[in-house]
Amino acid sequence: MNKIKFRDHHHYKDGGLLRSEKVERKIIEIILNSATLDSSESESSKVWELKHSSGCCQLARILAQKRNLNCEIAEVSALLHDIYVVKSGKYQDHAKLGAPLSEDLLNHIGGFTLKEIKKISKAIYYHSEKEIYTNEPYVELIKDVDVFDCSLYINAEGYYRLHKLEIIVDEYIKRIKKVRQELNLPEEPVFRQR
Ligand SMILES: [Fe+2]
């Protein structure tokens, strides 16, 4: 009888991590060790950043399969898309300010080509422009996973309606509906209600 050899999962302990797994561990370490998140000036929290980066990472893996995209580029872009918020606790211009931070982190971790780093950094740089549709698959992927992940939390709609212009909320709704359709989910509820 043929015996298939399986490799055990490392559970992110010690060595043997792939480059994307090193990014997964690093972003968690940055969040957990942050002195800024959870401070009174911070607009975010450690819990939110842990949940949102992990949630977006899983959704990016799912949509990457649907869209025939590279899973590693998708998951790393998702993990790092809010890196500026993670480091500063601030949302103002976080997409554009986060792109160079992601490049530094990926260069530090190593194993990523310049072309891959530019692709990831571009997806992060443009991810706040939800109302714009491009031909860049990873840029669109990160915009989509960002809004769709948030839509699965209670009161995400309230947050958007209180903090964003109505035309922008309409664009978010359009994107969430598009992803729901792609995943064969019912169109409603666009935002989780309870
Ligand atoms: Fe986000």
Flag whether pLDDT at 143 surpasses 80.
Answer: yes
CATH number, domain of 23, equals: 1.10.3210.10
Q: What is the CA radius of gyration of the chain?
A: 17
Tell me whether residue 188 is in a domain.
no
Tell me whether residue 190 is in a domain.
no
Q: What average pLDDT does the structure give for the chain? A: 95
The predicted pLDDT at position 8 comes to: 81
Tell me whether residue 45 is in a domain.
yes
Distance from residue 186's CA to the centre of ligand 1 (Å): 23
Report the candidate in 94, 186, 92 with the shortest Cα–Cα distance to residue 142: 94
Domains: count for the chain: 1
Distance from residue 30's CA to the centre of ligand 1 (Å): 16
| Rounded-to-integer distance, Cα 123 and Cα 74, Å | 9
The predicted pLDDT at position 1 comes to: 61
Tell me whether residue 9 is in a domain.
no
pTM, entire model: 0.95
Tell me whether residue 135 is in a domain.
yes
Distance from residue 52's CA to the centre of ligand 1 (Å): 7
Length in residues, the chain: 194
Tell me whether residue 192 is in a domain.
no
